[in-house]
Amino acid sequence: MKKIILSLTIAVLALNFSRAQEINIQTEINVLGQTKPIPVCLSGFTGEAAEVLKFDLYVQGFSFVSSDAAQYVISGSDAGNVTGNVTDKFAKRSILSRTYNGASTRRQAHAFADDIVQAIQNKKGIGQTKIAYKSQGASGPGEIFVADFDGHGAQAITTDGAIVAKPAWVPGKLALYYTSYARGNPDIFYHSLSGASGGQRRVIAGYSGLNTSAAVSPDGSRIAMVLSKSGSPNVWVCSADGTNLKRITTGVQDSSPCWSPNGDWICFATEQNGRRRLAKIPAGGGTVQSLNTAGVSSPTEPDWSPDGKWIAFTSQTRDDFNICVMPADGSGSPSVLVGGQNPSWAANSRTLVFNRAMGYRQVLSVLDVFTKQYKDCGRATGSNSQPAWAK
C-alpha cells in the first residue's frame, strides 16, 4: 500500500476579513497495485541463499537493481554461515550487520530476509512462516500438506486416501482444521501437529450433510463453518471443541466464512436472487450487511487482512478467476490484482498466497499486493490449491 499524505492548508476568511483561521487537513490515500518496489542491490550470495533472499524480498515489495540504482545495498556471504550487511545509500550508514548460525543455509537466509524487512520496512518478515494446502498427484483425491511459505519442505499431514479440503490454521499453534471424507462424509477434523499430541486428530463437526470451510477466530476460541444440517448450507459458529453450536445465517447458499481481526464480525459469500455477493454479520448473529463489490462478478472466498484494513477475495467470470482486494470499511471499490483464486493473507497484511491455473494443474503463488509482484512456489509439486497462511 502506498500512503500519500497530503497536507492541505486552507485559509478561512471571515466576511469582514478581520481574521483568518488556518486548518491543517491530513488525508491518507491507499493505492493498491501502484506502489513502486524498494530498489536494492544484492551481492556476495550464491545458490540457495541467493534464491531464498530474492524470493522472500520480491514478494514483500523489493526489486533487484544495480548498485548505482539501489537505495539499499545488501551484501554478505553464504560460505559456511550466512553473514549479511545492509547499507542505506541515502543515509550513508549501515542499518544491519549480522551473522547467522545454528540452522541450515536456507533457514539462515530466511532469517536474514526477515531482518532486512524489519530494518527497512519496520515490519515483521514472513520468511519463516508456514502454509497449509491441498495437494493432488497424478492419481488419488489428494491430501493436506504443510510447507514453508515458499513451498519448500512440504510434508503430508493426512493419508486419508479420500477427498480433503479447506485447511485452516489455529492462530499461534501448529494445529489445523480441515474437511475430510475419511469417514465417508464431509466432516471437519481438528488435527494437532506438535508436542505429545502431534498427529492426533478428532472430529469437530460430523453432522449429516456438508461440514466444511472451518475458519478459526483470531483468539482461537471459536470456529465459523458451513453446515447443511438444517437444509441449506449456512454459516454456524461453535466453540473450538465443537460445542455451543449456533446458526448465524439463513441464506439459500452461504459459504467461505472468515473473521475480522477483532473477532466481532464474520465475512462470508452468499447467494441472493441467483447472484453471489459478499456480506458480513456480527459473530454472535444479527443483521447481515452487504459489502461493496461493485465492478466484479461472483465474489467468493473472502479473507480479512490481519490489520483489519483489507478483504481479499476471488471473483469469477465465465472463464477466469481473479484475485481482488477491497477496503474492509467499504470506502472504495475492489481492485483486480492478478489471475487466481483462494487468497490467504500473511501476517504482514500485504502478501497473499493463492493458487492459479498452469496448464492442467494448479500452482501456488505468492503476491505482494501493493506492487503486484508475485512468484510461483516452485518447490511445491503436484496440483496445489486452497492455501492457508499460518498466523
Q: Is 110 helix (H, G, I), strand (E, B) or coil?
A: helix
Q: Which of 108-112, 144-148, 304-308, 328-332 has the lowest mean pLDDT?
A: 328-332
Domains and CATH numbers, the chain: 2-31 (no CATH), 38-121 (3.40.50.11830), 130-389 (2.120.10.30)
pLDDT over 70, % of the chain: 91
What are 190-233's pLDDT values in tens digits? 999 987 656 789 999 999 999 999 999 999 999 999 999 999 99
Residue 66 DSSP symbol: -
DSSP string for residues in 269-304:
EEEETTEEEEEEEETT----EE---TT-SS-EEEEE
- 97 Cβ neighbours under 8 A, 6+ residues apart: 84, 85, 86
C-alpha cell at 337: 490484482
* Global confidence as pTM: 0.90
Residue 25 host element (H or E):
strand 20-31
Q: What are phi and psi of 55, to 5 degrees?
A: -65, -55
The band of 379, judged by pLDDT with boundaries at 50, 70 and 90, is confident
Angle 16-21-26 (CA atoms, 0-180°, nearest 5)? Answer: 145
Rounded to whole angstroms, the Cα distance separating 390 from 146 reads 10
What are 16-67's pLDDT values in tens digits? 322 222 222 222 334 566 789 999 999 999 999 999 999 999 999 999 999 9
Rounded to whole angstroms, the Cα distance separating 53 from 280 reads 38
Q: Could you tell me if 85 and 144 are in contact, meaning their C-beta atoms sit under 8 angstroms apart? A: no
The band of 181, judged by pLDDT with boundaries at 50, 70 and 90, is very high
Q: What is the structure's pLDDT at 198?
A: 65
Rounded to whole angstroms, the Cα distance separating 169 from 191 reads 10
**Chain-wide mean pLDDT for the chain?**
90
What are 275-317's pLDDT values in tens digits? 899 999 999 999 999 998 989 999 999 999 999 999 999 999 8
